[in-house]
Amino acid sequence: MEREIIAVFRAVTARPDYLTVDKLEAGLGGWGAFNIGIWAAANVIAREMRRGRHMKLEPSDEAHTDVDDIARKAVKKLMECGADPANAGLCAAVLLYWAGVNVQCGMPCPNRKLGAVTRMAAGIPSGRISSMPTEKQNNKISGFAATLAIYQALESEHLAPYDSRFLPLGAGGPIIGHSAIGEDHLFPKLGQKLSRIGTKAMIKAYGSAGMKPNRWFSALYGAAAALEIIHPDAYVGEEFGSFMVTRTPETIAQAAVEEAELPAVVHVRGTGEELNTARVVGDLAIILKDSGTPTVVGMIMFAELCSIIQEGSVIGAGRSGGPLVIPLHHWVTSPTLALYLMGKGAPQEEIIGVINKTMDMHFQRDQAITATNVLARKADTVERGPVTDAILAATEPGFTNAVAVRALQAYTDMKLGKTLREVVRGAQERLIGSLEVTVAKAMSKRLGRNIEYIRFREVRPGSGRRSHVFAQRHFAFDAYVDVEVKIDGKIHRLDNVLAKAAPEALMNADQATIDAISAVSPAIIDLLCSGASSLDVTVCACMAAVMGMDPDAAAKEAVAAADVLLALPAPNIKHAARLASDIMKGLVFS
């Protein structure tokens, strides 16, 4: 048994690519994602922090600062890993922000803003919120919705708190900017009006374009569009906040937060630390205002950089922090969180503990640990540093255990005479069963309902919508799902959910059925993303190979049996199985 377990373990863990259907190497070219670049840039920033570099923007009388230098290095690393210059500039700014760098400082000269620092490091011109897309939620919109609504309001009504015709001569400077006129009246009052208008317009545009409104992005773009008009550096009257502490971004963002119905306080994932939502939204809005023009891919990464917020998946601030195990090109929560903790001065042991705690926030803990470890190992080949060191230290024990448990299970089952197909199907049934339990528990809490059980009655590729062989084979492209859920004592049977029950309920505004689908949808999404971690199938195929089956045949049979576990093609399993067979032949100890 020892030889088989060793051979399988070594083959499975030989390359990160063997444990996912996602194409990690393609991400290094920026094709659809550049999250490995974010992991690498986090290492760059962390290493500079360890050197004692000054991580603050200050109105110092010098042409270049430590932050300028770190920004150039981070942007360079992101661009080397496939990020478009505008995307690199934006994401470098957000990484530096979470690392502890303030977003703005100064007087007329120097006036430093973090978004501008990283944008200039990328060598690109300033953009505008109107041309900035949101992240992709299948469809997407842009900040044009907020900008248009604001300017239409400015045209149709007078929004300033006074009649501008009565302004005295010379009122364009400090008579307004450093007096009660601006700080107590114009900036906060007009800014909050504009911010609400922009946020409301974003929410409307999301819904009209067939999406559930993203409250996080709506507030960000509403505030950022307002800050393109309002003095972004001014302090405000004491009624809005303390002098030398509260500036217009936070005041304007407060209105956006309220309009978007965001919670007043959000929390850091894994620590529970409270963050003032308006402060964070105002800070990020200033970064967006001063950035270039990122692409949709850049905004996907921006969203995921916000996923260190524990409420992220609920409010629209990223999804890679859990509870779902989504495709790996989204995942940047762990490096961002590690960088945040390093900026707070947390020791290695504390960072390891927090990262481990965040793994518990996923429906599938073992798969989340595997995904995080895979990305950390891949990123470590691009740029080594303190961030990946900490994440590898946090995940290696759990990852090792996850592989070993599955290898032992596969070995035991095959020794008992089970076929490879039976072993893979057993792993698939266990995963589906675990999702039934964990999702029912989580959604009971989320929805405030008693979800007594979720039972998948049939899950397979081929809902009948498509005849193409590819869709018939790969679950993610045409999934057939029959599920039963019991909510508050009532049983709901949902047949062919994605092709029949869901579209019919939506088109007919059948709220009861929609509520039932909402209760089970996280489990369905997790299944549709199966293969983000292909751990179970890779282990089974490798074990069959070391126990004498032809490795190519083992890979083919394992993939065929995993018609749900692998929602997408998985060519790397064949390479892992071949390696496992070769290793087994080379183990000569007795």
Q: Does residue 76 form part of some domain?
A: yes
Local confidence band at 128 (pLDDT 50, 70, 90 cut-offs):
very high
Same domain, 153 and 284: yes
* Residue-averaged pLDDT of the chain: 94
Please report how the helices 85-98 and 333-343 are oriented relative to each other, as an axis angle in degrees rounded to 10: 50
Same domain, 453 and 510: yes
Residue 108 confidence (pLDDT) = 75
Same domain, 197 and 56: no
Residue 106 confidence (pLDDT) = 77
Residue 122 belongs to domain spanning: 32-126+325-405
Report the 3 state secondary structure along 75-124: HHHHHHCCCCHHHHHHHHHHHHHHCCCCCEEECCCCEEEHHHHHHHHHCC
Residue 245 confidence (pLDDT) = 67
Q: Does residue 88 form part of some domain?
A: yes
Q: Does residue 339 form part of some domain?
A: yes
Q: Does residue 10 form part of some domain?
A: no
Least confident range from 278-292, 340-354, 454-468, 532-546: namely 454-468
Same domain, 388 and 447: no
pLDDT digits (tens, 9 = 90+) for 550-584: 999 999 999 999 999 998 888 899 999 999 999 99
Q: Does residue 47 form part of some domain?
A: yes
Same domain, 392 and 482: no
- H or E, element range at 248: helix 248-259
Residue 471 confidence (pLDDT) = 82
Tokens of 228: 């393109």
In this prediction the pTM is: 0.95
CA separation, residue 582 to residues 384, 545, 559, 570, 572 (Å): 30, 9, 20, 20, 16
pLDDT digits (tens, 9 = 90+) for 228-257: 999 998 888 777 777 666 788 999 999 999
Average pLDDT over residues 333-351: 97
Same domain, 488 and 346: no
pLDDT digits (tens, 9 = 90+) for 459-488: 999 988 888 888 888 888 999 999 999 999
Specify whether the CB–CB gap between 119 and 79 falls below 8 A: no
Question: Which of residues 511, 528, 545 is at a domain's end?
Answer: 528
Question: Which of residues 289, 305, 334 is at a domain's end?
Answer: 289
Same domain, 225 and 242: yes
Does position 434 have pLDDT exceeding 90, yes or no? Answer: yes
Local confidence band at 182 (pLDDT 50, 70, 90 cut-offs):
confident
Question: Which of residues 289, 313, 335 is at a domain's end?
Answer: 289
Please report how the helices 144-156 and 191-208 are oriented relative to each other, as an axis angle in degrees rounded to 10: 130
Same domain, 283 and 383: no
Residue 244 confidence (pLDDT) = 62
Average pLDDT over residues 85-106: 96
Same domain, 206 and 270: yes
Does position 38 have pLDDT exceeding 90, yes or no? Answer: yes
Same domain, 170 and 232: yes
Amino acid symbol at 75: V
Same domain, 158 and 57: no
Does position 522 have pLDDT exceeding 70, yes or no? Answer: yes
Does position 107 have pLDDT exceeding 80, yes or no? Answer: no
pLDDT digits (tens, 9 = 90+) for 271-330: 999 999 999 999 999 999 999 999 999 999 999 999 999 999 999 999 999 899 999 999
Q: Are strands 265-267 and 274-276 parallel, antiparallel or unpaired?
A: antiparallel
Does position 515 have pLDDT exceeding 70, yes or no? Answer: yes
Q: Helix, strand or coil for residue 230?
A: coil
Q: Does residue 220 form part of some domain?
A: yes
Specify whether the CB–CB gap between 160 and 231 falls below 8 A: no
Local confidence band at 61 (pLDDT 50, 70, 90 cut-offs):
confident
Report the 3 state secondary structure along 321-359: CCCCCCCHHHCCHHHHHHHHHHHCCCCHHHHHHHHHHHH
Amino acid symbol at 546: V
Local confidence band at 590 (pLDDT 50, 70, 90 cut-offs):
low
Tokens of 386: 């303190």
pLDDT digits (tens, 9 = 90+) for 386-420: 999 999 999 999 999 999 999 999 999 999 999 99
User: How many domains does the chain fold into?
Assistant: 3
Same domain, 100 and 111: yes
Residue 86 confidence (pLDDT) = 97
Q: Does residue 540 form part of some domain?
A: no
